[in-house]
Amino acid sequence: MIDRYTRPELAEVWSDHARFEAMRQVEVAASEEMSDPTPAELDDIRAATFTVAAIAERELVTDHDTAAFVDVLSASAGPAGRWIHYGLTSSDVLDTGLALQLRRVGELVLPDSRRLVEALVARAREHRHTLCVGRTHGIHAEPTTFGIKLAGFAFEANRNARRLERAFAQASVGALSGAVGTYASTSPEFEERVLGRLGLERESVSTQVVARDRHAELLLSIALAGAGLERLATEIRHLARTEVGELQEPFAAGQKGSSSMPHKRNPIKSEQIAGLARVLRGNAQAGLENVVLWHERDISHSSVERVILPDSTILLDHLQRRAIALVEGMVVNEQRMRENLDLTHGALFSQRILLALVGTGLTRDDAYRTVQRLAQLAIDDRIPLRNLLAVDPAGAGLDLDVIFDYRPFVRYADEIVDRLDAIA
């Protein structure tokens, strides 16, 4: 992933050095669980080192990066190096090392998943009574509160955080089962001991590789989290439009919205989230394609994973941090929200009028057509619907103060927002 979106800590986890270091840890743990090396030889194995440059140079000969890594590490250990990679195959070291990397990535990424939930919960509670328009199909529907809106996003973020926790956990598994997964040169007990040293769970049955549905599940969970972030970003983008003006992204001192138009304050953070979420979905599709391997193993997945696992986890980290800053810093224009309630001149109360007319004895269809006619007239001629209903025969006897009252729309706002207590 390009530096623009990459936190240094994650760049380090996915560096070539970190990948080989994870593999080194696997090789050392395996050697420590063998009965053959002497204590002195184990000390030499633990002290063995490598450089990425040396491995790259050796790979020019081997045309196999794991073999090159083993050669360099073994040479560094001296005579004791003969025990390095003893009885193992490439995937034993590659997949178990990858599990160590994924576990570390989870440690870095998951805390911000929870921080996003907390940020949404805080803003939802802050605006539990902030009246605003609810929209369906992009058209004004009935009033809601901005807090209720944000509460829905908070619960979605919580579901995504929990999915990510499960996905990282189930992908952080190792295997040391040999060439086709039969432990011909090792044993299940040896595998269990080595993985115990590394703090990893064991793949139940590894053909030679850890099954790639695990990595696909992680990538799908990341893509789903990205979709949730995009849904939030899309809502913010819509509400930030000039014609709506209910929200504004945080705008720092010295920031410029446009190179040519000084008045612009564009929703660039939301747009970036929406754009990069597409990359996450594309990578998830590649992860699904990686599930199908030939027989016990091929390497069609390997080159793909070198791109999609670092890129997806780095982008998830970036988008989460972007979203947290967006939620915490967004400017809520409560006055504009109230003004927008009047754009349809009272048509937002159409269902309450409909129900009141049905209560007087009209059929539902007759009541519906009456309200439809009056509401459209209010919108077209910019006449308050209440005034039209007051002089229409259908409105005779109706209590307009009761009908044109915002309180019924938000009477359960506290109860709905208080449900956040379960996840906060």
The one catalytic residue in 17, 64, 258, 300 is 258
CA nearest to 418, candidates 145, 144, 124, 142: 124
Residue 144, helix vs strand vs coil: strand
> What residues have CB less than 8 Å from 282, skipping those under 6 apart?
none
Rounded CA-CA distance 331/238 in Å is: 14
List the structure tokens of 230: 């995009």
- Is-contact 192 185, C-beta < 8 A? no
pLDDT the model gives residue 129: 97
**How many C-beta atoms surround the C-beta of residue 128 within 10 A?**
20
CA 324/CA 115 separation, integer angstroms: 7
Q: Which of 17, 74, 91, 137 is catalytic?
A: 137
Q: Which amino acid is at 36?
A: D
Instruction: Give yes or no: 172 in active site.
Output: no
| Residues in contact with 9: Cβ distance below 8 Å, sequence separation at least 6, in sequence order | 108
415, burial (CB in 10 Å: exposed 0-12, middle 13-18, buried 19+): exposed
pLDDT at 345: 97
Paired strand residues for 140: 135
Instruction: Give the pLDDT score at 264.
Output: 81
* 173: helix, strand or coil: strand
Q: Assess whether 301 carries a catalytic annotation.
A: no
Write down the pLDDT at residue 1: 83
- With both helix axes pointing from N to C terminus, report the angle between 213-240 and 302-329 in degrees, rounded to the nearest 10: 30
Q: pLDDT truncated to tens, each residue of the chain (424 aa)?
A: 889 999 999 999 999 999 999 999 999 999 999 999 999 999 999 999 999 999 999 999 999 999 999 999 999 999 999 999 999 999 999 999 999 999 999 999 999 999 999 999 999 999 999 999 999 999 999 999 999 999 999 999 999 999 999 999 999 999 999 999 999 999 999 999 999 999 999 999 999 899 999 999 999 999 999 999 999 999 999 999 999 999 999 877 788 777 788 888 888 899 999 999 999 999 999 999 999 999 998 888 999 999 999 999 999 999 999 999 999 999 999 999 999 999 999 999 999 999 999 999 999 999 999 999 999 999 999 999 999 999 999 999 999 999 999 999 999 999 999 999 999 9
H or E segment to which residue 247 belongs: strand 247-248
